[in-house]
Structure 1
Amino acid sequence: MTSLAGPSAVATGTRTDADGDLRLGTGTTFAARISPDGRWIALDLLGVLWVMPASGGQARRLTSDLFDIAQPDWSPDSSRLVFQSYRDGVFDLWTVRPDGSGLRQLTEGPYDHREPRWSPDGHTILFSGDASGSYAIHTYDVDSGRVGALTDGPGQEYEPAWSPDGNRVAFVVDNTRIDVVDRTTGRRSTHVTVPAGQVIHQPEWTPDGTGLVHHLTYDGRCHLMRGDTPLVDDQETFPFRVSWLDGERFLYTADGRIHVRSLTGSGTRTIGFSAAVTTRRPRYTRRRSDFESTGPRPVRGIGSPVLSPDGEHIAFRALNDIYVMRIGRAPQPLTRDHWWTCDPAWSPDGKRLAYSTDRGGTLDLWIRDLDTGRDRQLTDLGTRAAVSAAWSPDGKEIAFLDQDGALWTADVASGDVRRVFTATFEPGRPTWSPDGRTIALAAVKPYSARFREGLSQILLVDRTTGQGRYVEAVAGRSIQTRGDDGPVWSPDGRRMAFAVASVLYTVDVAEDGTPVGEPRQITGEVTDAPSWSGDSRHLLYLNNGRLRLVPADGGRPRTVAVPLTWTAVRPPARTVVHAGRMWDGVRREIRRDVDIVVEGHRIRSVEPHDDRRAGQRIDARDRLVMPGLIDMHHHREMQGYAYGDRQGRLWLSLGVTTTRSPGSPAYHMVEEREATRSGARIGPRYFATGEAIDGPRIYYNFMRPTFTDAQLKLELERAKSLEYDLMKCYVRLPVMWHKRVVAFAHDAGIPVTSHYHYPAMAFGGDAMEHTGATNRFGYSRTVTPLGTGYSDITDLFVASDMARTPTLFGSTTLYREDRSLVEDHRVRTLNPPWRMAALRESADAAARTDQTARRANLRAQVRQALDIFRRGGRIVLGTDAPIDHAAVSLHMNLRAMVTYGFTPYEALVTATSLAGETLHEDLGRIAPGMYADLAVVDGDPLTDIKDAANVAQVLVSGIAHTVESLLQPFSETPPADSRKTAGSSVLPPVPDHPANRKFWWHGHQYVETARHACCSG
């Protein structure tokens, strides 16, 4: 790859290739506690336990990076510290002496144990935990190790605090109040309450036991409060308990430092600290993508394969089509068109195939008669999608999901539809009981309403009552993904099949789907997407890009050959783009009146314009040509099912020629990559991973819950076989496994990203997603609630060269005065109705509500990114689309960056040359040898950043698309005879269940259907 200057061309700092030891003197969102004897301060900076003298100075590390600790507390005699640690994939309590000796684990098991508090008499440790299905306050007896329950009310109860005499315990309930329980009488009372929207954290009793000090966040402010009175309101206080030096003075963390104040005084004393950490820059040979080889390549992107009832045929998704293959023969394409198709489903008699396509305008169910070859559109829902089809055993109905995850049925004869069950978050494909009374599907069941993560279990929906109930597939474990990994009911009704821990299981079930007996493991190899033969004797599944058949009772599997190949699309031999003005993605200057000569996939030369130059011509003499934009964070398949063929076209129409997904369903990711590279689907160039590797608890359907070392090996095997372009470690993956993933991926030439900057920086991680986003601790260590980051963020990003993708969700506040893209013709045409409604609602909300606090937060985040960028750090643009609106959000991110400090040139570099350099591909620049990914725009984006959206034409790998050609399929109304009206009836709302409850993350409500779920992607 040709070297380029990257940010050093625009920044005041420079990069080096060396690892570095840094001494940090400020920190972001860290806690500190002074020892009862007044000699020491313990702090949890960067997830490491440190101890330093109470007067300040050099901090001494007590735990390794692998322990990932938080919120230390001293024993009354100052001889030990207790803390929570995520070392083993759940939060447990540990103790250690202040000299680092005597490290001991106190709790274990599948549940989280957080926020330990040592009792005044030293015999008991309070903590919060979720063993009861909600957060409650528990006790740990130091002498015996017994755990007991202190409180377990209907709300989420956490962050306990002892009164000085040990008789009372205060704790937070649901973010908005502090309750106190008397340990002697059991009497409970509320001492502090705040309105919804304000958030309480971390109460602590005053030394005389007469009052409580707590942290309060509201309206973009963070205060320490005593009752209703602010104690500290002139600093950005961090949301942790104060620590008492005596009856008047308290220690707390704020503005990146440790401070001391008095209850009655006004002065502040700062206690300085120095903590030494080491960063290691990634050193490995990056694997390069092959976009140009002309030879045939085997198809590995086999999506949603299903075995026919007779066991002799397989239908699957590949290369932007549905293929039907008689085993032993070549697959045959079903549609041979450009429309999006997905989710094939055999009728019980094997004569028809249902599938979803947007051929009629939006994603609906269609049925193909396999004897006659005729198609019939079954649904025409207009305002919602219809995907994940499953036939009823009698062939009279088809169950399906809409884009929000609600369960519906369609009458095959009439097309009438009926909602069966409310929306759950990203559920799996439905499956029917033999009597048609029960529909089962995979759905997430959170451990509590405080945090959204849980297990993907089997949700059994009774069609006659509308009631749903959860049952476990394998005790304490998740179904692997809530996509195609089951459950799948056997046709004889006796068993269900599903993938758990990356292998195949079956379990006997009762008529209503209740498991009977123990699950049986059928395979020992990587297994995905099981389906049954009609006689219930065999199971088909995917294994690392190949189809396999195995006897349902176990045995040796055999490979089913799929003789299907694809070849890379061939661009015109020679194209000449006459640019009146050209920005190359690196220099500040604009060149004028040049020809960009493209041969095949790449730019051959950039020369003064010459009318005599041969080749296919693109006339941009009155326009500016620039590198196509690169979105470094999106989830193309996450809602691709809802967008259909529109999604890729929308990105291109707004100048986005490359996207990178740090989390997608693995086989659908490979299908998308092969479909776009072969030209079967129109869309940007595509880099992606499969499902992010997660710990035992998950939320999204495109995360892989991981339970053991052996399973992690299988997950890595899948990644290597399917040639992931990157790997992502998600929120609940233990640091030890994160480190193993980095080592494995780098050996294979693959970069690794996550939501965490440290300790990933200590073992050579490549990137971090978001400014902060979801964190297993419930708060971010890379950004405060007000958007601030201190030297432990900025210095470390500069030193490590780790790429950071801010994904500025607050850019939606700009809709208040800038709705230009909301009403843009391209956006209105290429968004499906439900996404367009959501976009308009987002813009309307920005206009009708006070955005002051969110603007201040956005400003702080942008300025943090700008500091890193101008010092030579690696900031690249990403959006979390399509959760945040595809393509539109990229331009709103650019506009937010410029609004709050970036120059247009600097902002554009993050989405062009620096992004291309971070990908280690020949992208993001206009220069000889680079890929011909270009955007032709009106105006001058280097002067007015809004002009970057004024796209008239794009080239992707030398293939040109005009905006008109991209919009054309959706600009025309489909013929009347291809559409039909489907009736609908909706059942009454179903009872509450855990997948639809509210989740709390550092004071912000996350509802599983709300856009804020994006903060985890």
Structure 2
Amino acid sequence: MKRGILLAALLAWPAAAHDPGEFGLPTLSPAAQTGTSAAAPPRAQPPGQTLPMKPSRRISFETNEATWASLSLSPDGRTIAFDLLGDLYVMPVSGGRAKPIAQGMAFETQPVFSPDGKWLAFVSDRSGAENLWVMRPDGSDARQVSFRDDDTPLTSPAWSADGGAVYATRFLPDRNAYELWQHMLSGAAELIAPVPSNPDQGGGTTRHAIGANASRDGRYLYFAALVGGINFDSVPEWTLRRRDLATGEETVILPEPANRRGGAAGAFFRPVVSPDGKTLAYATRRDGGTALHVRDLETGADRMLAYPVQRDLAEASAWQDLFPGYAFTPDGKVLIVGGNGRIERIDIASGARTNIAFAAKVNADLGALQAPDIRQETGPVRARLIQTPELSPDGRTLAFSALGRVYVMPADGSAKPRCLTGGGDPEFHPSWSPDGKTLAFVTWTAKGAGHVWTAPLDGAAPPRRLTAAADYYTSPAFTPDGAAVLALRSPQAARLLTYMEFGNQRQATLVSLPVAGGAARDILTDTMGGKPHFAASPGEVYLQFADGLNAVDLATGKRRRAASIVGPGYYFIEGAVPVDDMRISPDGTHAIAIIAQQLHLVDLRGNAEGRVDLLKPGPAHRQLSDAGADFLEWADGGRTITWAVGSTFYRMPLEGTEPTTTEMVVEVPRDTPSGRLLLSGARAITMNGDAVIEDADILVDGDRIAAVGARGSFPVPPDATVRDVRGKTIVPGFVDTHDHVADVRRDVLDMAPWGPAERLAYGITTAFDPSTLTIDGLAYEDLIDAGLAVGSRMPSTGPALFSFNRFESLDEVRAVLRRYRDHYRTFNIKQYRAGSRRVRQWIAMAAQELGMLATTEGALSLKLELSQIIDGYGGSEHAFPVTPLGRDMVEFAARSGS
């Protein structure tokens, strides 16, 4: 089973190391989890590609420690090559001054000497994506060997015995798996240990291979292997395998079937075979730490050589392998090993460990640091979102919901919006009657559930309730004759018991409600969603199901698939996934769809099955939006396409290329307290270092703390209300800088959300959400600022930028970031593994240009976190996965300013 955020299981790969709501990622429908088409072939890049960012600053310092140093020893035993903070160095095997051979903004790791000592293979993203490179040991003659142009991390290069090829492992995010490749220096590549496609359908048959090491005689290839999914609730049971390169036969070296040793059974990795092929060194998890063992390959004798050594990454992203690279000396008597900030010699016979002292000068070129001054908004609260906007049949009036109310206003923006009703329960999902005189909408509260209503546009009569039983209703729509309103109904309890809502499909019943009054009629119960809408036949209504857009017979409830449109999904899903929302045109010839937060137009003519893959270029579809799209609808009988971003409404003719835009401005007063209040006598813990005032006065003036001091130390305004708080301790409000407020109700909003109120009750006055999953977090921020909901302030990044954006240029990135800054009015964004290093640099560059602050997802990957710091990102949302951190890491992180 592929794992999104589920109630009991999390994302595929490292999410299990975090809290269930940690990543702000969705629970996926079965169709979305599996994907609906095979993944595209790997993208190839032409030679000569470079990183787009130019350095704007440099930090320099000396270090005698190297965190997670992966090293190699020259065949003559005289020179060590190792990586340090994404740069490559060489030094004598005795230690001393390390010489840099590859420095710059590119992140380069895991240098490995060729069998003849004339070349180093290494991993580099200097072409914009991670690829295999070779160069001379002095840093000259660098050339690219592999040419992948995607976001798949590469790790663990190792030479073949004849020096004609380099083995390396690719991590495939969409399958959460590691596969082993052989790259010929001529440019050809062969998949050595493939990962099965669609592993969810294979009963746990996913195979992983990492950390290859070839014997000197060319007979065998040793590597770590794992069968099944990676789950960090426990240490994955990596095994050691040996492949006969002549026959392809594989033998399991460890664990031994009859004798699984103490410690974590099966946690064996990073094999290195001695020059004579008789001894195998490897790392293993033991007693909560990591040990190095040596094994006699002839007798099977196995013993621990050193413990503890560098703590492994078995419970993190092994994008620099599970253990740093290390090497035998040419005589096979000593291991040269990096770890815990040191490089040391370990004698094979005695286990004696000797430090190899070294010194290295770090000159790190960095991108411009994002550090804009971001202020809280003041004055009236202007709604960031207009939800589900819909044009009237005559195209003159727009209906939408904002801040829990249904509004109508001239579509050209010539007059201010007005509330459709006089108040009552919160209102959502307005929908026009065919004659344009009436609007249907739904109401909902957590305490009282909700109903479906109609109200005249002119306000001549009060709203009329169409439903008898209170429940959770959504997406009302008039039938073409105007005689009934269709809606989706779910039990109120089911909604209240849902931890995190995501997507527009749920278990629901399609109901028909007579406008003139009478009993509701159930048409169909299924997992479905989207807005009911009509095409050519008035007897069929269209809704989304797991297999795509279906036409439902209003008389019988039977359904048939009308269209299946798929496109890019989250990085952990293999292949294309169903679109988030779609509508078929009134004449059935076209469809509009939103996926990856962009609007697409699809031509269905001549497509009997209605199957379209937006990942595949072709004349059948085109992207209409550049900044993005939140909501979509047809108008004008299918001659016009409409959509909204934030509070901006877009209209464009079906055959057009340039939309017209109108700002829909909804403003309400900001909930700002007035008056003065003196809190007197409390013990005050201040923000002035560790200063504590035992008998304090705290003066609050409006929404500001005006003064803090000892009792009587400052004048108190005569109009201040004095409150005796002796015996209490008062602390500054807590600011939670990483809080995924995942348990709010989405789309149909909850005006009394318990999550934000709970946070406030525990003293959190600001809860910053660095990835809201959906745009609803923006609406809750406005509701709280307006006093329409109670809770901590909730600034956020809005939805994170993921790889499904498929950015192809800096201009595309700029357009999307302007959506956040100009439409959502958030100057913070979250870059969540949005693509290759090139793409991540584009995002950093665009954020810097637009005065925004981008934070990042660390993904339990050291090289991802470090490369993002190099690129000038202002923050990283998770801890470094490596422990301990050496002086190099501490200095680098502190001096970078991120």
**TM-score, structure 2 length as denominator?**
0.70
The CA deviation string for residues 436-475 of structure 1, in whole angstroms up to 9 with x for no partner, is 797357xxxxxxxxxxxxxxxx978999999999964379
Structure-2 separation of matches of 1:150 and 1:469: 39
2:214 is matched with which residue? 162
Superimposed CA distance per residue, residues 772-808 of structure 1 (whole angstroms, 9 cap, x where no aligned partner): 3xxxxxxx3xx33xxx322233333333444xxxxxx
Q: 2:446 — aligned with what?
A: 359
Q: Distance in 2 between matches of 1:222 and 1:801?
A: 32
Aligned residue in 2 for 1:126: 167
Instruction: Tell me the secondary structure at the aligned position of residue 792 of structure 1.
Output: helix
**Aligned residues of 1:223 and 1:233 also touching (Cα < 8 A):** yes
Structure 1 residue 419: Cα displacement: 5.9
Deviation (angstroms), 1:635: 2.8
Distance in 1 (CA, whole Å) between partners of 2:577 and 2:777 is: 15
Tell me how far apart the structure 2 counterparts of residues 708 and 115 of structure 1 sit (CA, whole Å): 30
One-letter amino acid matched to 1:49 = L
Q: CA deviation at 1:605?
A: 2.9
- Kindly state the Cα deviation for residue 39 of structure 1 after the two structures are TM-superposed: 3.0
Residue 244 of structure 1 corresponds to which residue in structure 2?
A: 328
Between 115-124 and 650-659, the greater mean CA deviation after superposition: 115-124
Classify 1:736/1:430 alpha carbon distance in 2 versus 1 (closer, same or farther; 3 Å): same
User: Among 420, 424, 427, which residue is 2:527 paired with?
Assistant: 420
What one-letter code is carried by the residue in structure 1 that aligns with 2:76? D
The one of 226, 240, 262 aligned to 1:178:
240
Q: Alignment partner for residue 152 of structure 1, among 188, 191, 194?
A: 194
- Name 1:256's counterpart in structure 2: 341
Which residue, out of 600, 607, 617, partners 2:702?
Answer: 600
Q: In 2, are the aligned partners of 1:237 and 1:253 still within 8 Å (CA)?
A: no
Alpha-carbon distance between aligned partners in 2 of 1:578 and 1:339, rounded to the nearest angstrom: 40
CA contact (8 A) 2:391 2:411 kept: no
C-alpha distance 44-158 of structure 1, shift in aligned 2 (>3 A): farther
SS at match of 1:711: helix
**Which residue in the other structure is 1:677 paired with?**
785
Query: Is the counterpart of residue 203 in structure 1 residue 310 in structure 2?
Result: no
**Are 1:627 and 2:763 an aligned pair?**
no
Structure 2 residue identity aligned to 1:515: V
Question: What does residue 710 of structure 1 align with?
Answer: 811
The residue that corresponds to 1:991 in the other structure is none
CA distance in 2, matches of 1:376, 1:196: 62
Supply the distance in 2 between the matched residues of 1:281 and 1:475 (Cα, whole angstroms): 30
Counterpart residue number, 1:232: 306
What does residue 509 of structure 2 align with?
A: 410
- 8 Å CA contact 2:371, 2:874 repeated in 1: no
Structure 1 residue identity aligned to 2:797: T
Deviations 1:464-490 (A, max 9, x none): 999999964379999999999645544
Q: 1:696-845, aligned counterparts within 5 Å?
A: 697=803, 704-722=805-823, 723-739=825-841, 741-742=843-844, 744-746=846-848, 748-754=850-856, 755=858, 758-762=866-870, 764-772=872-880, 780=881, 783-784=882-883, 788-802=884-898
- Matched residue SS, 2:282: strand
Tell whether 2:281 aligns with 1:213: yes
Letter in 1 for 2:114: S
Q: Deviations over 1:205-228 (max 9, x none)?
A: 343434643332365222223466
What is the CA–CA distance in structure 1 between the aligned matches of 2:473 and 2:79, rounded to whole Å? 60
Match of 1:920 in 2: none
Do 1:71 and 1:83's aligned partners in 2 also have CA atoms closer than 8 Å? yes
The question of 1:289 aligning with 2:357 is answered no
- 1:614 corresponds in structure 2 to 719
The alignment yields a C-alpha RMSD, in angstroms, of 4.6
- For 1:620 and 1:80, the matched residues in 2 are separated by 73
CA displacement at 1:94 relative to structure 2: 2.0
C-alpha separation in 2, matches of 1:156 and 1:392: 52
**Number of equivalenced pairs:** 735
Amino acid across the alignment from 1:360: K
- Tell me if the contact between 2:264 and 2:285 (Cα under 8 Å) persists in the aligned partners: no
Contact 1:397 1:409 in 2 (8 A): no
Distance of aligned partners of 1:519 and 1:483 in 2 relative to their CA distance in 1, 3 Å threshold = closer
Aligned residue for 1:267? Answer: 352
2:509 counterpart SS class: strand
Q: Is the 8 A contact 1:502 1:525 kept in 2?
A: no
Is this contact kept in 2: 1:632–1:661, CA < 8 A?
yes
Distance 1:473 1:588 in 2: 54
Match of 2:113 among 60, 69, 74: 74
Shift of 1:119: 0.4
Task: Give the residue type in structure 2 aligned to 1:635.
Answer: H
What does residue 760 of structure 2 align with? 652
Identity %: 22
CA contact (8 A) 1:203 1:212 kept: yes
Task: Output the amino acid matched with 2:208.
Answer: E
1:390-789 correspondence runs (5 A)? 398=488, 403=500, 405=502, 407-412=506-511, 413=520, 420=527, 439=544, 472-473=566-567, 486-499=581-594, 504-509=599-604, 510=607, 513-515=610-612, 518-523=619-624, 525-533=626-634, 535-543=637-645, 545-606=647-708, 608=711, 613-636=718-741, 641=746, 645-664=753-772, 667-694=775-802, 697=803, 704-722=805-823, 723-739=825-841, 741-742=843-844, 744-746=846-848, 748-754=850-856, 755=858, 758-762=866-870, 764-772=872-880, 780=881, 783-784=882-883, 788-789=884-885
- Look up the match of 1:94: 133
CA–CA distance in 1 between the matches of 2:594 and 2:423?
A: 33
CA distance 1:495–1:213, change in 2 (3 Å): farther
The 8 Å contact of residues 641 and 652 in structure 2, kept in 1 or not, is answered as: yes
| Inter-partner Cα distance in structure 2 for 1:323 and 1:233 | 68
Higher helix share: 1
Structure 1 gap segments, 5+ residues each: 1-17, 422-427, 442-457, 699-703, 773-779, 803-1017
Deviation at 1:106, TM superposition (A): 2.1
Q: Given that residues 600 and 625 in structure 2 are in contact (C-alpha distance below 8 angstroms), is that contact kept between their aligned partners in structure 1?
A: no
Instruction: Measure the CA separation in 1 of the matches of 2:628 and 2:463.
Output: 33
Residue correspondence of structure 1 range 869-888 to structure 2 within 5 A: none
- Residue 32 in 1 paired to residue 71 in 2? yes
Q: Deviations over 1:758-783 (max 9, x none)?
A: 345556543332213xxxxxxx3xx3
The one-letter amino acid paired with 1:102 is: D
Match of 2:12 in 1: none
Which runs of no fewer than 5 residues in structure 2 stay unpaired? 1-56, 196-204, 228-235, 296-301, 313-322, 457-461, 512-519, 553-557, 859-863
Deviations 1:641-671 (A, max 9, x none): 3986112211111111012222235754443
Q: TM-score, normalised by structure 1?
A: 0.63
Question: Of the two, which has the highest radius of gyration?
Answer: 2
Is the partner of 2:670 in helix, strand or coil? coil
Q: Does the 8 A contact of 1:637 with 1:668 survive in 2?
A: no
The residue identity in structure 2 corresponding to 1:497 is I
Aligned-partner residue type, residue 139 of structure 1? Q
Give 1:108 shift. Answer: 2.5
CA contact (8 A) 1:340 1:359 kept: no
Aligned equivalent of 1:189: 251
User: Deviation digits for residues 150-184 of structure 1, max 9, x if unmatched?
Assistant: 23264232213323322332332245223333222
